[in-house]
Amino acid sequence: VTAVTNLFTGRPARAIVNRIVRELGPIGADTPAFPLAAVAIAPLRARAESQGSCDFSPLWSGQNASGCREVPAAELTRELAGALRA
């Protein structure tokens, strides 16, 4: 699930919903303006990431995250190169 949020940068952008977006809501009226929002969340993000958690990390996404699939990099590269040749 994705949402437009301003929590990570202070500007709206689409991200995969994680803990911070769920708990604070996607658009925070009190979110610091760009670029200060990233600075404000940095300690939470660093601590969570050091523990292997993405609860406070920006997980940028387009609108069709459910249409994504896991694919090895080599396979993706071949597909993209093939599309260029076509």
Q: What percent of the chain has pLDDT over 70?
A: 100
Tens digits of residue pLDDT in 17-54: 999 999 999 999 999 999 999 999 999 999 999 999 99
- Please count the structural domains in the chain: 1
What domain range is 27 assigned to?
A: 2-85
What is the model's pTM? 0.75
Pairing, β 2-5 against β 13-16: antiparallel
CB 32 within 8 A of CB 7: no
Measure the CA–CA gap between 76 and 50, rounded to whole angstroms.
29
